[in-house]
Amino acid sequence: MRASIISTMRLLEMSDSQFPVGNFSFSNGLETASYEKIVHDADTLRQYVEAASIQSAFSDGIASIHAYRAVDDNNYQEVLHADEEVILCKMNDEARQMVLRMGKKMAELIVHITDCPMMEQFLKDINAGVTAGTYPIAQAIAMHHAGISEEDMFTSQQFGVINMILGAALRCVRVSHYDTQKIAYEMAQRIADDYQTVKDSDYEDMRAFVPGMDIMASLHEKGNMRMFMN
């Protein structure tokens, strides 16, 4: 009971939008999608969130599951392999910037707040340029260390992607809190179904092909919208 409470508390802490890794600074292309009137109401927002969730599950999700199991086996080289696979799946500069900034920040935070030798090594390798240092892999190391299950780690990752977009939507799309919370509530079944698929997937099954979102990110890099980081 006590261990369950502690791991749940740590899961909530790391999943909170206020956890200082910079999640709130990005919109995952939504700012441009809103500006271009592609996302303009609750229905189009739901479609955008679902596309982002699928993209994340079948790229970051697969790699982080492998990394989590590698941490369990104390196989650090496999952790680095998973990190490389994540960055190879990022098709645009904004996506790469997001996972690298958040990954390093997560590593720095964990090293500061707890004794985690593998994260210490991961942070050293990030600073030395040995590895990219992506957010999903930093999450895998941190959450395994915190006693959080693989399933809960995957759920937290997906929640983070969904919550990032929904939080941004309240600032740039004509939707209410009722709309965003309804979307988040309904996405739970999607996350559960995707986990059942990706938990047995290998690196060769990773895919991030959602070209509309990559176009939005590319436009955001060159556009005049500056509510969110690019």
Residue 116 near residue 83 (C-beta atoms within 8 A): no
Instruction: Identify the residue whose tokens are 């240092």.
Output: 133
Closest CA to 135 of 63, 228, 81, 48: 63
pLDDT in tens, 115-167: 999 999 999 999 999 999 999 999 999 999 999 999 999 999 999 999 989 99
Task: Centre a 10 Å sphere on the Cβ of residue 105 and count the other Cβ atoms it contains.
Answer: 18
pTM, rounded to two decimals = 0.90
Phi-psi region of 39 (alpha: psi -120 to 50; beta: other; left: phi over 0): beta
pLDDT digit string (tens) for the chain, length 230 residues: 677 899 999 999 999 888 888 766 677 788 888 888 999 999 999 999 999 999 999 999 999 999 999 999 999 999 999 999 999 998 878 888 889 999 999 999 999 999 999 999 999 999 999 999 999 999 999 999 999 999 999 999 999 999 989 998 999 899 999 999 999 999 999 999 999 999 999 999 998 777 777 677 666 566 565 554 44
> Quick one: which of 56, 152, 134, 140 has its CA closest to 98?
134
